[in-house]
Amino acid sequence: MAERGESTLVGHLPKVLARSAGSTLNLVVAGSSALLAAALHSWAVAALGGAAYVALVAWDVVSPVFWKETLSGASDEARKLPAPGRLEDPRVRDSVRAIHQAREELTRTLEGAPRGVVSHLGLALASVRELEGRAARLVQRGEELFRYLRTVDLNAVREQIRLLDEQARAARDTEARGQYESSRKAREEHLAALMDIHAAYERVLANLSSVAVTFQGLPAKVMRLRALDAQATDSMYGDLSEELGRMNGELQAFEDTLQSFKEVRVAS
């Protein structure tokens, strides 16, 4: 049984390797190394760049999340953040725009970084890619909830509950009173569901904002490591990786709580 499972993993390995080898971030690292090596006529720089590229691919290959995303069949486009202009929710749009800008700045910072720094950042950069994928899923969920919440009126539901309560109190017939009370209970359940959806939407926005702030801080942290270069300690690289890993873990837990909102259907 174990051999069968190992055989299945080996069979999928070429697909995983191909996706990692062709990822934008990994190619940026490889390409910038090649250009710098050519400009300096330095085999040492080329070797360091190649080592950094191999390290990034290796991180992907040992990442369960990367395997899961690759084998899920979802396209790379589905894992990428959409362009801000394609989004309807202004608050989601602002967070996505901030992440895009920070990612571009991070790419520029990495392009000029010493190869040793980029090599040490292998785990952190893999976490950045994972974090962006989670942000893309949050954006999709935020847009779904935003579109749904635009179609409902919480105050109208509250007013219906108030009217049904008045009608139940005023009804002289016992059966009629029971029907009004039953309708009021149904509306109260409706309102509770809507409140849960609204709370989930607010948590999506809060998590997206947190991701944006994290991305905005990354270029400065990488630049600090560039400035220190040889003086940078393994613990400094580890702290950055730990921070990104912790955020990915928190977002994974949040995604799990949103499973019940995959299909938003509330009876009116």
Contact 129, 244 (CB under 8 A): no
pLDDT of residue 74: 52
In angstroms, the Cα distances linking 133 to 103, 165, 174 are 13, 47, 57
230 or 263, higher pLDDT: 230
DSSP 46-62: HHHHHHHHHHHHHHHHT
Q: What is the pLDDT averaged over residues 124-135?
A: 82
pLDDT of residue 261: 55
pLDDT of residue 260: 55
The tokens 């942290």 sit on which residue? 221
pLDDT higher than 90, residue 139: yes
Contact 241, 123 (CB under 8 A): yes
**Which of 128, 137, 158, 136 is closest to 60 using CA atoms?**
128
Question: Domain residues of the chain, as ranges?
Answer: 1-74, 80-261
pLDDT of residue 226: 74
pLDDT higher than 60, residue 170: yes
The pLDDT tens digits for 61-84 are 555 555 555 555 554 555 688 999
Give the global pTM.
Answer: 0.65
Burial class from Cβ neighbours inside 10 Å (0-12, 13-18, 19+) for residue 90 reads exposed
Say which amino acid occupies 32. Answer: S
